[in-house]
Amino acid sequence: MRLLLRLLLLLLLLALFAGVGAYQYFQRWLSTPLPLPEEGLEYHLTAGKTLSHLVRELAKEDVLAYPRALSLYARWMGQTQVRVGEYELLPSTTPLELLAMLNRGDVKSYRATLVEGRNFTQIIDLLATHPRLQSQLKGKPLAEQLAILDLPIEHPEGWFFPDTYYYVAGDTDVVILRRAYHRMMVTLEELWPQRMFGLPYESPYEALIMASIVERETGAPWERGKIAGVFVRRLQQGMRLQTDPTVIYGMGDAYSGRITYSDLRAPTEYNTYVIHGLPPTPIAMPGREAIHAALHPEAGEALYFVAKGDGTHVFSATLAEHNAAVKAYQRQRASDYRSTLQALPPAEQSEQGAGEE
């Protein structure tokens, strides 16, 4: 009987030592770098996959020796939450660091930059060039795009704040545009109450329309306030804006790089040579500076401006001064760098446009 008890005790001791040894071995393994290649390894955890999927797939690639044990350890530690995306595993990554990385959601990020002055179609085309970003909008009719975006807007132009946005693999263009829309809303809510008194806008949206025109007309950033001043004064005096970028936007795909006299007389809702006041929507994405300029136009008497060819403009208070500036700067330039003055017959030059693109 004593011999049997001794044997049982010995077996218990051996099992205890084996368990302690196994536990110590597992603890050392948790802190030992995984057998990763020198360049590291990128793993893409797609939507619908869990930690269990990940550890099994890493085991198949001979990266993880004890997938089941790591899954059980993660449950015990409450670290089973994982985020969809691309993970970059460095050669020094240990199983413990892998779990922490997954639990924090340290996924690899990418960036897409929305540039001031681009229109909605150009934004969609740009986002579609990012291979890690899923395009849900490109090629669809406008009504369907608006339905997918699900934003409280009737037209998408101008509503998306130009900036650099970060995303992870698997995100969509809709995700970025919704973030850009909210950035624009925050910007308008901040700047609209600070506007100058007496501006010819009835709403922040009209200011956004003006800002988009200023953005498209401005080559030199420091001239935004001056150009906004010209357009505001023209509105206040009942003059047409007569600005080429609105005509180009209204032409859509028909624009081939040049505006003709017949284009300037075509009765579209965006042709500010024909309509009075602002066009119905913005024509591009204005940045914060353009919005600020539209709300804080520079004071002065100028009602016209003409491009000098170096990105800056000459501003004039009278038509005679403007005609002289056109003669000095535009008529000596290349034929494809035209003046709106030259596009109008002499009989119509008395209500000459403010400037040109």
Which residues neighbour 349 within 8 Å (Cβ) at sequence distance 6 or greater? 319, 323, 341
End-to-end CA distance of the chain: 105
Query: Among 63, 42, 45, which Cα is nearest to 53's?
Result: 45
Rounded CA separation 73/55 (Å): 12
Q: What is the pLDDT of residue 306?
A: 86
pLDDT at 346: 36
pLDDT mean values, one per 10 residues, the chain (357 residues): 52 47 74 86 84 89 86 85 85 89 87 96 96 94 97 97 93 96 97 96 97 93 94 95 94 87 90 95 97 96 87 88 84 46 36 50
pLDDT for 61 equals 87
Helix (H) or strand (E) holding 6: helix 2-30
Closest by CA position to 338, among listed 210, 276, 247: 247
Residue 73 CB neighbours (<10 A): 17
pLDDT score at 271: 95
302 and 317 in contact (C-beta within 8 Å)? Answer: yes
Number of CB atoms found within 10 A of residue 77's CB: 12
Query: What is the reported pLDDT for 332?
Result: 54
Q: What is the largest CA-CA distance in the chain?
A: 126
Nearest to 357 by CA among 207, 211, 208, 218: 218
Q: Which DSSP string do the residues of 226-242 spell out, in sequence order? A: HHHHHHHHHHHTT----
Domains defined along the chain, listed by start: 34-106 (3.30.1490.480), 109-189 (no CATH), 196-351 (no CATH)
Residue 347: what pLDDT? 37
pLDDT for 340: 39
Half-sphere exposure of 104 (CA within 13 A, CB side): 10
**8 A C-beta contact, residue 224 and residue 293:** yes
- Residue 52: closest CA among 32, 36, 73: 73
Beta strands, E only, 222-285: none
